[in-house]
Structure 1
Amino acid sequence: MTPASAPRPRLAGWMLVLSLFLSACGDGHRDGDGHGHADEEAHTSDEHARAGEHGGRLLEQDGFAVELAIAEDGAPPKYKAWLYRDGEPLPATAGSMQVELERLGGVRERHRLEPQADGSLMAASVVGEPHSFDVEVRANIDGEALRWSYPSYEGRTTIAADVAKASGIRVAPAGPGTIADEHEVQGLLTPVEGRVASATARFPGPIRSLRASVGDAVRAGEPLATIESNLSLSTYTVASPIAGVVTQRNGTVGGMATEGMGLFEIADLSTLWVDLHIFGADAQHIRPGVPVAVTRLSDGATVTTTLERVLPGTATASQSTVARATLDNDDGSWRPGSAVTARITVDLEPVERMVPLAAVQRFRDWDVVFVRVGDTYEVRPLELGKRDGERVQVLSGLDAGAMVVVEQSYLVKADIEKSGASHDH
């Protein structure tokens, strides 16, 4: 694997590969291979299993055989079987059988097969995904009690705890939460109206000094310039009318100031307006008082504030409705004129079960997460519901409290795909 975004990716990836290699070298029967036959029970493995004429797994013992498959063919998957004696087919009424499964975590289920008109036996119960379990088959054919057991795993792998930790794989329990109904919009930072002032010349005359530059922070009453009055031939001081940041500087030393000339513009940028442009029908859902997450495009920094008002009328140039929020800017890191993105939360809906979006992967034709039991990880196909920018509702496929991989889930997916765990149909 080459985990592009994992912490210490090169080291973590090699540790994972090395651990799996050593595991394979030290355990030649990881899936239960090499057990042979017992007096009452025959053990088979994926490696040694033979296929029957219907494509199912052929289970043989004492001259009897059962061919077992999971039949789908556009219908929900169910167990289907055919009976044989000395290689010859037997009618379905010649025997009875049931299949017991033990899934990861100790969950057990039973499927009883009944004779069908086509000569097979078939279960009425559905085999849920994933088809990954330890299988025990019990059959009675012509009065002979037979039993087989074997592992049939798919979408499953084992990763040692220290390797998972070094690879940044982290799990969290699935449980209830809240899905936000959010609208993502664009916006612009502007100074707050009434917090911009001009330091102006009172009398005409030559400019003798300019003591501030654009970007300087100034105090209220701080001297910014001196001018020699043409009327009195004495100098006077121009002071900053407010505390803030110099955003404009006009004139040059030695140049002439006219009466009322604005030498400096000072803006109090400790708070800024965020003007958000909302288009079309989205404007009907936006109301003051809802949360807004504002993201700075330059570095992705995000702060949360509250929508204060929706302005009347429409912005002429964009034909959008403008919604406004106020942003604290004591550290000066947000700059007026900057473009931002924002997520406006118009509603919060509680759900019984949810997972982070980062936990969800595509596996075969499914949306899945990976659950951990001990050092074993296994796929869980999900039916998903509503989602927001961070979370998604789980409608089915995941038990409450299941430990779900919420970080570096793609590493687990890659390891499962590399192992090539079969789908035993």
Structure 2
Amino acid sequence: MRRISLLLPLLLLSCRGTSQPSREGERDWVRTVEAEVVRPSTIERRVRLVGTVRGENEALVFPDMGGRLLKLNVREGQYVRRGQVVALIDRSAPGFDVKPLTVIAPASGYVQLLVRDVGTTVGRDKPLMRIVSKRRLKVSVAVPEAYASKIRRGTEMYAEGIPVRVSSVSPVLDPKSRTLPVEGVVSGPFIPGQSVLVELVVERRDSVKVLPASALVGGVRKGVFVYGGGKVRYVPVKLGLTTAERVEILDGIDFGDTVVVFGASTLKDGQRVKITLRESSEPSSRP
């Protein structure tokens, strides 16, 4: 019994000795976060739409008079030359034998058939086909009314990621769809009639202070943590243009400041941290 009583204080001292470094280690532990140096950057807001690729020079082919489609002299995708006979129209009536009417291609290009069935009744108001030139292509897109005032010639857009400049803007909205017809000349592996994803730049700011949205902390009143001297300090900020991924900072920080961009949500004002610097990301493409 006496031996046990002598060993017990030694065990307690041993436990106390091993726990002390752990508590000191906890006090010495410093969290590592990711940060960016604020530099002049670009932020833009894009709206995603579906556009259609067309030939810059297109011609609809109409018969000069109504009748029944007697024969198509061309097939889908065939190249035709201006002046070539592309179809015959039967204008005969009971008791009258009338020579078939020839339909002439008004331009050179590739055929897109709009009427395919022989015997179909056609008229001067119904095109038989479209003739498309592939030398220069354009992408057409209908811009919602809400963004119409932001679009002008030269506005940037992207067709399947390929940069395009708006070359033509309708002066009026389409009264039925309440959209603004817009076109841009496009180059790339496209074919007339193809549907393409279009991203239209509706707002853009250059040489401004931009941070990832993950840098923001707080509720209604947003702020960021600025790093300096091994510690972070909380700074309220005023926001400008905002996208899903990036935010423009109007006030609160300066160019050259080092701001925590990942891991900020659990920091406290004055907390000691270590930082890993990362390069600023590209302008946002999300709405």
In the alignment, residue 171 of structure 2 is paired with which amino acid?
L
For 2:175, give the aligned amino acid. Answer: T
* More RCO (CA 8 Å, sep 6+): 2
C-alpha distance in structure 1 between counterparts of 2:233 and 2:133, whole Å: 54
Aligned to 1:348, which of 195, 201, 205? 205
Gaps of 5+ in 2: 1-17, 91-96, 273-287
Q: Which residue of 2 aligns with 1:157?
A: 32
Q: Report the CA distance shift for 1:200/1:227 in structure 2 as closer, same or farther (over 3 A).
A: same
Give runs of aligned pairs for residues 233-252 of structure 1, distance below 5 A: 241-252=107-118
**How many angstroms does 1:311 deviate by?**
1.3
In structure 2, what is the equivalent of residue 385 of structure 1?
Answer: 239
Distance 1:187 1:221, change over 3 A: same
For residue 81 of structure 2, the aligned residue among 183, 196, 220 is 220
Q: What residue in structure 1 maps to residue 156 of structure 2?
A: 292
Q: Supply the distance in 2 between the matched residues of 1:369 and 1:335 (Cα, whole angstroms).
A: 51
Q: Aligned residue pairs: how many? A: 240
Question: Does the Cα contact within 8 Å between 1:217 and 1:245 map onto a contact in 2?
Answer: yes
Task: Identify the match of residue 180 of structure 2 among 322, 326, 347.
Answer: 322
Within 5 A, what are the aligned runs for 1:84-95?
none
Aligned pair in 2 of structure 1 residues 209, 342: CA closer, same or farther (>3 Å)? closer
Q: Note closer, same or farther for the CA distance 1:223–1:367 as it changes in structure 2 (3 Å cut).
A: farther
Question: 8 Å contact 2:89–2:103 — kept in the other structure?
Answer: no
Shift of 1:246: 0.8
Q: Distance in 2 between matches of 1:34 and 1:259?
A: 95
- 1:218 shift after superposition: 2.8
> Which secondary structure state, in structure 2, belongs to the residue aligned with residue 45 of structure 1?
helix
Cα distance, 1:271 vs. partner?
1.4
Alignment match of 1:400 (pick from 251, 256, 261): 256
CA contact (8 A) 1:295 1:341 kept: yes
User: Which secondary structure does the structure 1 equivalent of 2:24 belong to?
Assistant: coil
Identical-pair percentage: 11
Tell me how large the CA RMSD over aligned residues is.
5.6
- Deviation (angstroms), 1:175: 0.8
Mapping for residues 360-375 of structure 1, pairs under 5 Å: 360=215, 362=217, 368=224
Residue number in structure 1 paired with 2:143: 276
Q: TM-score, normalised by structure 1?
A: 0.39
In 2, the alpha carbon distance for the partners of 1:308 and 1:203 equals 34
What residue in structure 1 maps to residue 58 of structure 2?
195
Q: Find the aligned partners of 1:304 and 1:256 in 2 and give their Cα distance.
A: 40
Alpha carbons 1:381, 1:397 under 8 Å: kept: no
**Over residues 295-346 of structure 1, what are the superposed CA-to-partner deviations in whole Å (9 max), with x where a residue is unaligned?**
66xxxx464423643514x43234x46263424155326746778553323x
Query: How has the CA–CA distance of structure 1 residues 275 and 196 changed in structure 2, closer, same or farther, with 3 Å as cutoff?
Result: farther
Matches within 5 A, 1:12-411: 34=21, 45=24, 47=26, 151=28, 153=30, 156-157=31-32, 173-180=37-44, 182=45, 184=47, 189=52, 195-198=58-61, 200=63, 207=70, 210-213=73-76, 216=77, 218-221=79-82, 225=86, 227=88, 241-252=107-118, 255=119, 262-268=127-133, 270-279=137-146, 285-286=149-150, 288-289=152-153, 291-294=155-158, 301=161, 303-306=163-166, 308-309=168-169, 311-312=171-172, 314-318=173-177, 320=178, 322=180, 324-328=182-186, 331-332=189-190, 335=193, 340=198, 342-345=200-203, 348=205, 350-351=207-208, 353-357=209-213, 360=215, 362=217, 368=224, 381=234, 383-389=237-243, 391-394=246-249, 395-396=251-252, 400=256, 402=258, 409=262
Distance 1:184 1:45, change over 3 A: same
Residues 27-56 of structure 1: per-residue CA shift (max 9 Å, x gap): x99xxx739xxxxxxxx7374xxxxxxxxx
1:124 alignment counterpart = none
| Paired residues of 1:201 and 1:262 also in contact (CA < 8 A) | no
What's the CA shift string for 1:373-421, capped at 9, x where partnerless? Answer: 9xx9x9775535212436423444677164866xxx5xx679x89xxxx
